[in-house]
Amino acid sequence: MGAGAAGMSRASQEQRPLRVEREAAPGVAVVTLDRPERLNAIDLGLAEELAAVWRSLRGDDSVRAVVLTGSGTRAFCTGIDRDTRVPQPASPYSQDDPLLTVGPKANDLWKPVIAAVEGMACGGAFYLLGEAEFVIAGASAAFFDPHTAYGMVSAYEAALMAQRMPYGEVARMVLTGTAERMSARRAHQIGLVSQVTEDGGAVAAAVELAAVVAGYPTEAVQGTVRALWAAHQTARDHAFALAPHLVALGNLPGERQAELFAGRERGAFRTR
């Protein structure tokens, strides 16, 4: 029975949708979304694990900086898993969004988080990118928000990106939906991405920078992160207060969204 229990424990660990490596560099943890077969899309299980990991890192004094990335080369994250069903209250004034708790700031983690993006980052991925201190991307990374193409309001994503990008760039991305993708080069030009590496090099570059930050007194670093966040928190909170009402009013019924998603033309987009 003991061996069997150990085997079950190993199998359970292997199937977890999130990996945490605490020895990438002194003081640095690497958190990896590990659902490459689903393009690292977030289901309810992964959402819960992300929240739990951020909260566990709050009390881990051996970790002073974090790198967040996705497994595989096709995607950093593609947002909410399309197969995930989130029961909603009947009231139009209440909307439950499981992605609201997936980011580090939502879980009171003020240790700096650097996002390392390879492949696609779209839709709900911006909940994570919007709560990272800065973003490093491989040369082939691409950013887009498909919400409007499928009859959904881009509310939280647009609000978060409006604090990272010029208004016109955010508007173009969220309104063009699936028709256009922003290249890593363009994302770097407008400030969404702080550094572009060769493909496959984003994590290494992020770990190198995280190690530098982790070498400084953590109290000063965390205080600086908190100060930066406070600079735009009021505007974010105001936008988030409106978001559920805009989503409830503007989203098409789920059946119609599914029809639009099923009828999409794969590969019918341009990259700028």
pLDDT(92) > 70: no
Domains by residue range for the chain, with CATH: 14-202+218-271 (3.90.226.10)
Q: In this predicted model, which residue has the larger pLDDT, 267 or 58?
A: 58
- At 93, is the pLDDT very low, low, confident or very high (cuts 50, 70, 90)? low
CB atoms within 10 A of CB 158: 21
Average pLDDT over residues 60-68: 98
Average pLDDT over residues 142-157: 97
Give me the mean pLDDT over the 56-75 stretch. Answer: 97
pLDDT digits (tens, 9 = 90+) for 246-258: 988 899 998 999 9
Q: CA 262 → CA 80, 149, 258, 266, distances in Å? A: 16, 12, 6, 10
* Distance (Å) of CA 168 to CA 112, 125, 173, 192: 28, 20, 9, 13
